[in-house]
Amino acid sequence: MTATSKPVEHITIVGGGTAGWLAANLLSNFFGTGKDQGVKRHITLIESPNIATVGVGEATVPAMPRMLRQTGISEREFFKATNASFKLGVKFGNWNHDANGKPIDYINPFIGSRDIDGIPMEHYFHALGAKGLNYVQSISATHELGEMCKGPRALGKKEFDKGTSPYAYHLDAGKFAGMLQKVCVARGVTHLRDDVVDVELDDKGFVAALQLKENGRFPVQLVIDCTGFRGLIINQALKEPFVDYQKYLANDRALAVQIPHPDKEKLLPLTCSTALGAGWVWRVPLWNRIGTGYVFSSAHRTDEQARDELMAHLGDGAKGLEPRVIPMRIGRTRKSWVKNCVAIGLSAGFIEPLESTAIHMTEMAIRWLLTYFPDQEFSAPKRDRYNKLANNLYDEVRDFICIHYAMGNRTDDPYWIDAREGLEVPDSLAENLELWKYNLPAEADVGQFNLFSPGTYRAVLFGKKVYENGYGGGRVSSGIALDPDKWDTYLENLRKTVRVITRDMADHRTLLAELRGELRPAAQPWALTGGQAPTVQVPGAAKMPRFKVPDFVTGDADNAIL
């Protein structure tokens, strides 16, 4: 800080949805609301008592455990407070059809690609097949754990134990915001329940104050706009334009409803995404209920048609329930940091929730804000770098979502043909899709990525069986010499490992009951002797190449705060 620049001492967050409380949690944790290098920072969160939160957003990515741990939130408390469950990946259904017109199911797992002596195993998988195993079965135990409704850990483990498979969580969005609120208020964050009715700008166009319905004029230094799709400050007051992504992605509406578990004992550790006629249905199993809904295109279905389609799909489980309609603004604000306002969450942008990325994008945005935290000079280079990172992330997610449609092959509804042929494919993805007719997705193709490695692209292409169905006309070739014996040994070792993992991992519901403190002691054999839970020995695991996944996926980056 220079002698002339003054620190930001007051941070004002507007909005009490997941984004607002996540911002309050990370900022209050890493800054403290006390003194940080001599600066006392006050955080105030203003939340309308009259405008509801969007109330959805219940599946996450594997960065979430790290975020909870780093901000001092107990995993046990989290499971109990939010009725959370484990998520090992996303199961896609009916997005593509095989050569006989039969729907294809596949899982996009959190485990990344493995190498065999430096060669990504997909080259072997593509050239030699995997003895009848599908792609996911040839890299992980995720397929089997899903079928058996098992979790990623054995019983008796410590909080945040990494288990044998990277995992994320499913959570109740409303309860999650409520839990964060308690944590933040206990840390000293001021919570004001009031409506922002006007935004006052100074002569340089900075936000000088907010006009609150009950509390009057509220001066601000740094304001974080977490007001959801309305973008109250960033779009409405500061007039920053919105960059529409609908030329790439057709879905602009959602229907949401909560249903009971059809079978309480079987708690799937996967988010499901099942394609319907004009979009797809999400299914997020929590401890006590299932969150579900239909993301669809209003150009192809009216709300009533979509509702009927969803209810027919859900069957008896949704009898008597009425889904809620949620209009979605798809795209991003041109620059989410303008002057002294940073838009975070839905006000910054939203891409349909196919890969459950929005909460993670919010977390990334707050971490970047911490990295480039301004003083009252609000210097342009900090802001520019932040905006560049934020925009790149939206484009990265957009490309990855687009590939699901661009590489679809359904012809049974005009929606699927339009989604594949009538929409623009972003240039960055179009170039890669041309290349991937000749070459499997490689590290260099996706550049610097935050979320989606080349392995995740390969998982989608193999999951959809695009090469089996003729993509590239059999021209994919790497020129790498492949040793079939090494591949056989790899598959043999992997299957041994999978057998042990599936034997030793706990039943998902039992594991959750234990985390919630609701497991009867008889269910824990070692509890009778007061001993430790047995550690899982995985034969052959030492010989297995380490998973090559970005740090956030495994949560390995314990030391990295920003």
Ligand X SMILES: Cc1cc2nc3c(=O)[nH]c(=O)nc-3n(C[C@H](O)[C@H](O)[C@H](O)COP(=O)(O)OP(=O)(O)OC[C@H]3O[C@@H](n4cnc5c(N)ncnc54)[C@H](O)[C@@H]3O)c2cc1C
Minimum CB distance to ligand X smaller for 125 or for 296 = 296
Site for ligand X in 231-270 (CB under 6 A): 232, 254, 256
Specify the stretch interacting with ligand X by CB under 6 A; choose among 48-56, 110-118, 244-252, 365-373: 48-56
Q: Smallest distance from the beta carbon of 213 to ligand X, in angstroms?
A: 8
Indicate if 87 belongs to the active site.
yes
Output phi, psi for 479, to 5 deg: 75, 5
Residue selected from 127, 201, 208, 326 as contacting ligand X according to rule CB under 6 A:
326
Dihedral class, residue 161 (left if φ above 0, else alpha if ψ from -120 to 50, else beta): beta
- 3-state SS class at 378: coil
Core vs surface per residue 525-560: b (16+ CB within 10 A) or e: eeeeeeeebeebebeeeeeeeebbbbebbbbeeeee
CB of 255 to ligand X, least distance (A): 8
Q: Which of 8, 24, 29, 47 is the binder for ligand X (CB under 6 A)?
A: 47
Q: Does 323 bind ligand X (CB under 6 A)?
A: no
Q: How far is the CB of 548 from ligand X (least distance, A)?
A: 25
Q: How far is the CB of 12 from ligand X (least distance, A)?
A: 11
Residue 229 DSSP one-character state: G
**CA 282/CA 275 separation, integer angstroms:** 9
- Which secondary structure element, helix H or strand E, spans residue 310, and what is its range? helix 303-314
d(CA 176, CA 523) in angstroms, rounded, equals 29
- Using the 8-state DSSP alphabet, how is residue 412 labeled? S
The residues, ordered by sequence, that sit 6+ positions from 434 with a Cβ below 8 Å of its Cβ are: none
Q: Does 402 bind ligand X (CB under 6 A)?
A: no
Among 25, 53, 142, 453, binds ligand X (CB under 6 A): 53
Of 359-378, which residues contact ligand X (CB under 6 A)? 359, 362
Point out the catalytic residue in the list 87, 157, 335, 465: 87
Residue 28 Cβ, how far from ligand X at the closest point, in Å?
17
The answer to the question of residue 328 lying near ligand X (CB under 6 A) is yes
Instruction: Name the strands in the sheet holding 331-333, side by side, starting at the edge strand that comes first in the sequence.
Output: 242-244, 331-333, 349-350
Q: What residues numbered 449-488 form the site for ligand X, per CB under 6 A?
A: none
By CB under 6 A, the residues from 128 to 187 that bind ligand X are 173
Size of the site for ligand X (CB under 6 A): 40
Nearer to ligand X, 84 or 500 (CB): 84
Phi, psi for 229 (deg, rounded to 5): -55, -25
How many residues does this entry show for the chain?
562
Site for ligand X (CB under 6 A): which residue of 12, 13, 18, 267? 18
Which of 183, 106, 193 lies closest to 456, judged by CA? 106
Rounded alpha-carbon distances, angstroms, from residue 328 to 301, 340, 343: 15, 26, 17
Query: What is the per-residue burial (b if ≥16 Cβ within 10 Å, else e) of 466-493?
Result: bbeeebbeeebebeeeeeeeebeebbeb
* Residue 63 found at the interface with ligand X (CB under 6 A): no
- Looking at the Cβ atoms of 33 and 356, the one nearer to ligand X is 356
What whole-number distance in Å separates Cα of residue 399 and Cα of residue 403? 6
Residue 146 or 441 having the CB closest to ligand X: 146
Identify each DSSP E strand in 134-270 by its residue range: 168-170, 190-193, 196-201, 207-212, 216-219, 222-225, 242-244, 253-259
- CA 116 to each of CA 97, 254, 372: distance values in angstroms, whole numbers, following the listed order: 31, 43, 39
Nearest CB to ligand X, comparing residues 187 and 191? 191
User: For ligand X, which stretch binds (CB under 6 A), given 43-51, 132-140, 330-338, 520-528?
Assistant: 43-51
Interface residue with ligand X among 346, 393, 505, 515 (CB under 6 A) is 346
Q: State which of residues 356, 432, 497, 554 lies at the interface with ligand X (CB under 6 A).
A: 356
Strand locations in 78-206, DSSP E? Answer: 85-87, 89-97, 103-109, 115-116, 119-120, 168-170, 190-193, 196-201
In the three-class reduction of DSSP (H, G, I as helix; E, B as strand; rest coil), residue 196 is classed as strand
Strands 42-47 and 10-14, how do they pair? parallel
Closest to ligand X by CB, 107 vs 232, is 232
Q: Given candidates 12, 28, 33, 48, which one binds ligand X under the rule CB under 6 A?
A: 48
Q: Which of residues 292-311 bind ligand X (CB under 6 A)?
A: 293, 295
Contact letters for ligand X, residues 432-451 (x by CB under 6 A):
--------------------
In the complex, the smallest distance separating the C-beta of residue 65 from ligand X, rounded to whole angstroms, is 15
Near ligand X by CB under 6 A: residue from 54, 84, 139, 250: 54
Among 8, 11, 13, 59, binds ligand X (CB under 6 A): 59
Q: Which stretch binds ligand X (CB under 6 A): 33-41, 49-57, 399-407, 536-544?
A: 49-57
Give the shortest CB-416-to-ligand X separation in angstroms: 20
**Minimal distance, residue 325 CB to ligand X, in Å:** 10
Given a contact cutoff of 8 angstroms between Cβ atoms, the answer to whether 433 and 76 are in contact is no
Site for ligand X in 205-234 (CB under 6 A): 226-228, 230, 232
d(CA 123, CA 467): 12
Interaction between residue 14 and ligand X (CB under 6 A): yes
- The residues carrying an active-site annotation are 87
**Interface with ligand X (CB under 6 A):** 14-20, 46-48, 51, 53-54, 56-60, 173, 195-196, 226-228, 230, 232, 254, 256, 293, 295, 326, 328, 345-346, 353, 356-359, 362
